Amino acid sequence: MYRMIAGAMLFAMAAAPAAAHPKLLASMPAEGAAVGSPAEIRLQFSERLFSKMSGAKLVRADGKRAGAVAVNFAEDGKSLMLVPAKPLAAGGYSVEWYGVAGDTHRVTGTVHFTVR
Amino acid sequence: MLTDPLAVLLRFALYAVLGLMFGLLAFQQYSPAPARLAGRQVIIAMAALALVLSGSGLVELAARMHGLGLADVGLAEVATILSLPGLGTAFGVRIAALLATIAVMAVRPARDRSALMLAGVALVCLAWQGHAGATEGRAGLGHLLATALHLLAAGIWLGALVMFLAMTARGSQIDRGTLVASLKRFHGVGSMVVATLALTGSVAFLMIAGWPLPAAAFQSPWWWLLALKLVVFVAMLGLAAVNRFRLAPGLAAGQAHAVQWIRCSIALELALGVFILALVAWLGLLAPDPG
């Protein structure tokens, strides 16, 4: 009995905490960066997102959508890639993303960058 | 802080109805009290209410996860939720288990074990709607198992409190001997319930918060609500101990006013239990880290 209890507690202590709301860990380009036209914009999240309820759009500084952009998830469900069909013109851009993970909490955010 | 009051309310109602339904059916298994106190009609009504709440919960969840208003949720959004691994499956299984509970109760007595098992399945399915459903891999299975046992134990406690309140109510036809015998039976069951709650609660806490405790502990409402839950749990334990070691022996010895005292302590314990359910309904939607 005591062994079972100790086993359960050790199991719980060894497990990585994984019940946080999903968070954006990093982005490429990074927030506030000034870069050449990126072939791909990549967002890295802390949790596996449900692809059916998560996504992103690329918006220009004037608030309009930045042309055709393919949005895909990496196989691990934690990375979101935006691939513009054509090179991006110089100017300010924002990536408006939204995501839902297993804890059912919907999170949203924006990453800004500039194309030189 | 309370960003989704409707979600909290629906979760609270589901915990209460499903937990109580399982607890009432469990009580029929270990108590000598007459079954008419929580007969088939009561169980059928509770299962039907749980179905309505589950349907509402599904629409609310679809709206919240898609970032839509309730009125904008269509079949496509609901189907998306139902297609999710784990969470969606649990919804489907819960609804099927509730329908089966109604079907069984339509033809079988409330002491029937299959109804108890179906109600247990419906209750356990709630485990996926919270932190346990979000933990991945083998740890996720352990977390789900701990949460499932936690839900079942809490349901047994809740059902017993409601039954004892009914048995000690003014005008109750239950004789003192049956009440004493029922209390005695519950004392054994209650010890198991408390041990299960303490162990599975600790496991779930460690899996959500992480060990060693993060530096940001107590910097989000999740920690304070959990601490409040613990304090209320200890208060319930205190009341249960008074009941077991003072009031129940007094009742058995034929002391005057013993039934009234027991009724008061059970009513207070039940109020604290309901408060814990409300805290849990809220806690499951919060994250421990302040970010």
Per-residue pLDDT of chain B (291 residues; tens, 9 = 90+): 567 899 999 999 999 999 999 999 999 999 987 767 788 999 999 999 999 999 999 999 999 999 999 999 999 999 999 999 889 999 999 999 999 999 999 999 888 899 999 999 999 999 998 788 878 778 889 999 999 999 999 999 999 999 999 999 988 888 889 999 999 999 999 999 999 999 999 999 998 888 888 888 898 899 999 999 999 999 999 999 999 999 999 999 999 899 999 999 999 999 999 999 999 999 988 888 876
How far apart CA B288 and CA B207 sit, in angstroms, is 11
CA angle A5, A6, A8 (to 5 degrees): 65
Contact A47 B209 (CB under 8 A): no
Residue A18 scores a pLDDT above 60: no
Residues of B in contact with A96 (CB under 8 A): none
Q: Is A39 on the interface with B (CB under 8 A)?
A: no
The residues that bridge with A70 in the sheet, in sequence order, are: A83
Contact B210 A16 (CB under 8 A): yes
Q: Looking at this predicted complex, what is its ipTM?
A: 0.84
Residues of A in contact with B91 (CB under 8 A): none
| Strand-pair category, A91-100 with A55-60 | antiparallel
Contact A9 B131 (CB under 8 A): no
Helix (H, G, I), strand (E, B) or coil at A26: strand
Q: What is the pLDDT of residue A103?
A: 84
Q: What is the pLDDT of residue B291?
A: 64
Q: What is the pTM of this model?
A: 0.93
| Nearest CA among B285, B287, B268 for reference residue B2 | B285
Q: Is A24 on the interface with B (CB under 8 A)?
A: no
Contact A50 B65 (CB under 8 A): yes
Instruction: Compute CA A66 distance to the chain's CA centroid, rounded to the nearest angstrom.
Output: 18
How far apart CA B57 and CA B30 sit, in angstroms, is 32
How far apart CA A107 and CA A92 sit, in angstroms, is 23
CB atoms inside a 10 Å sphere around CB B184: 14
Contact B61 A16 (CB under 8 A): no
How far apart CA B180 and CA B201 sit, in angstroms, is 30
Assess whether the previous peptide bond of A17 is cis (omega < 30° from 0). no
Q: What is the pLDDT of residue A20?
A: 66
The residues that bridge with A111 in the sheet, in sequence order, are: A95
Residues of A in contact with B134 (CB under 8 A): 18-19, 47, 101-104
Q: Which residue of B has its CA nearest to A6?
A: B199
Q: Is the dihedral angle over the CA atoms B278, B280, B282, B288 positive or is it negative?
A: positive
Contact A8 B214 (CB under 8 A): no
User: What is the phi/psi pair of residue B111, to 5°?
Assistant: -80, -5
Number of inter-chain CB pairs under 8 A, A vs B: 98
Full set of structural domains in chain A with CATH = 21-115 (2.60.40.1220)
**Residues B220-235: b if buried by 16+ CB within 10 A, e if exposed:** bbbbebbeebeebbee
- Please state, for a pLDDT cut of 70, what percent of chain A lies above it: 96
Q: Which residue of A has its CA nearest to B83?
A: A52
CA–CA distances in Å: residue B2 to residues A20, A98, B65: 17, 20, 17
Contact A5 B199 (CB under 8 A): yes
Q: What is the pLDDT of residues B148-176, one digit of tens each?
A: 999 999 999 999 999 999 999 988 888 88
Residue A19 scores a pLDDT above 60: no
Q: What is the pLDDT of residue B2?
A: 67
Q: What is the pLDDT of residue B35?
A: 66
